[in-house]
Amino acid sequence: MRRALAGLLLLPLSLTFSSSTQAATRFEPSKATQLAPTANCRITNPQEIADRPNSIGFPRPQVFGNLKNPKILVVPYSFADTTSPILPVAYANSILKMVSQYYDAQSYGQSHLTFLTTPIDPVSKLPAQIKLGTYAKDFNYKYVDENTNDARGFVIKLAALADPSWHLENYESVIFQTSDSRMAYTGIAFTSQKSQMEQDKILAPGGMVESAVLSVIGDPVVNHELGHALFRFLDLYTNFTSKYDLMGDGYNLDPNLFAWHRWLAGWLKDSQVRCIESTGTTSHHLSSVNAKDSDAKMVLVHRSKTSGVAIEQRDGGLILYSIDTTIPTGRGPIRVYDNKRNPFSKANAKIQYSGLDITIKNCNKIGCDFTLANQQPYDASAPVAAPAPAPSAAPTSAPEPPRPTLDLSTVAMGQPCNGFAGITAVNPKNETFLCKVESDGNTHWVLP
């Protein structure tokens, strides 16, 4: 029922929307013409280390082999006093399969590692091994460096004892593995160079071995060591990089590689790196470093011939890290800013670091939009610090920090096994300490 209102004139309601109503402003990254040429941001190694087998800069060390489809031979060995059980071949293969899958993902499918074993022994039904006449108790390379046991000499000895029919010289790398639980919990990588002194080269009966790794069967640190042996990366260590790179956290199969490492390896195209050398403000969009797409993956702010600051998208946010090619392996050539926290992701968050003012516009799992104000231009005249000399016969990787240890008498089923997620330990009945791993419905055993 309608009722008239006294004294009021009723008019039809009319709503008018102004054409000036503003839609949300679309974020537009700066065009490539507003940036420096990407090739300028290839941070270089100091001349003094240009001929070293491993580095953190450009140009990359010369590698003789195929890094798109590298083949790695796994050679077991044992000592005269080795009593540890030989772990199931299936478990060792499952670890190596995960390593291959890891590099497939990190390289966006551009590097596929193939692992092969020595011929199967008809008696043991296991891969043929090198049996040493010496005792493990007389040679413990557990935390080796250039001042302790001659680990390189040990690798040279193993290579020389290999069966000529195995042709170690035909592989991009060789992994010498033992099941002896008293031996190294860490891997060690070595490389041969054409320029090396003859006594330092790793020579098999058929020729020079390009690179080699020492490890315990089933130890996932082999993933990290192949970063040294195949792709010639340096040690970074978690106190500098936290959880953000395999070369910093070598005890797990999970950490991704920095966008910088992927560019060094040739897995990122120049078009996916945005280079900044001048002052001023620019806008950028970075997609997740793990996404297999053609989008930009890294902003590199060039500081000097041997240094810069990188920005990339991780886990729905941004991380920043410095790169300095004059700093030796293991001493922080890459350092993540505020590395104890999660990536920066909050909208409108402001980050100030090393002459940069960054404002996040939007971040999610797909990518991040942000502006960057650079206050420090590239300085071509900046002095290059003299790098520390490399020992002539030292391993290419610095000693890994000790792992957490367990009191074996207190270990019970279900407890963490030396910090590895998803792995549980069993209470040992002898000196051999094995960890139980459930994978694909099967039970495997691995040394801690």
In angstroms, rounded to a whole number, what is the distance separating the alpha carbons of residues 279 and 286? 20
**Could you write out the DSSP letters of every residue in 120-145?**
BPTTTSSB--EE-SS-GGG---TT--
- Would 25 be classed as within a structural domain? no
Same domain, 100 and 217: yes
**Could you write out the DSSP letters of every residue in 207-251?**
EE-SEEEEEETT-TTHHHHHHHHTT-PPP--HHHHTTS-TTT-TT
Same domain, 121 and 213: yes
DSSP state for residue 36 in the 8-state scheme: B
Those residues whose C-beta lies under 8 Å from the C-beta of residue 71, and which sit 6 or more positions away, are: 114, 115, 116, 170, 171, 172
Q: Where do we find the tokens 């041997």?
A: 306
- Would 339 be classed as within a structural domain? yes
Nearest-10 crossing angle of helices 222-229, 89-106: 50
For each of the chain's 448 residues, which pLDDT tens digit applies? 444 434 433 334 343 333 333 445 689 999 999 999 999 999 999 977 767 888 999 999 888 889 999 999 999 998 888 876 666 667 778 888 999 999 999 999 999 999 999 998 898 888 899 998 887 777 655 444 444 456 778 888 899 999 999 999 999 999 998 887 666 545 677 887 655 566 678 899 999 998 999 887 777 788 899 999 999 999 998 889 988 999 998 776 778 999 999 999 999 999 999 999 999 999 999 999 999 999 999 999 999 999 999 999 999 999 999 999 999 998 999 999 987 789 999 999 999 999 999 999 999 999 999 999 999 999 998 766 544 444 333 333 333 333 333 332 333 333 334 433 333 333 333 333 344 444 334 333 444 3
Same domain, 67 and 142: yes
- Would 256 be classed as within a structural domain? no
Same domain, 96 and 193: yes
Strands (E) located in 277-386: 280-287, 298-304, 307-314, 317-324, 334-336, 350-353, 356-363, 367-374
Instruction: State the CATH number of the domain containing residue 122.
Output: 3.40.390
Cis check: omega of the bond before 59, within 30 degrees of 0: yes
- Would 126 be classed as within a structural domain? yes
Same domain, 299 and 352: yes
- Would 238 be classed as within a structural domain? no
| CB 174, CB 211: distance < 8 Å | yes
Q: Which domain range does residue 424 map to?
A: 408-448
Same domain, 84 and 217: yes
In angstroms, rounded to a whole number, what is the distance separating the alpha carbons of residues 81 and 134? 8
- Would 179 be classed as within a structural domain? yes
- Would 227 be classed as within a structural domain? yes
Same domain, 113 and 182: yes
What total of structural domains would you count in the chain?
3
Same domain, 213 and 88: yes
Same domain, 208 and 103: yes
| CB 156, CB 203: distance < 8 Å | yes
- Would 2 be classed as within a structural domain? no
Give the β-pairing of 356-363 and 350-353. Answer: antiparallel
Same domain, 415 and 367: no
Same domain, 146 and 46: no
Q: pTM of the predicted model, to two decimals?
A: 0.80
Same domain, 100 and 211: yes
For residue 65, give the 3-state DSSP assignment: coil
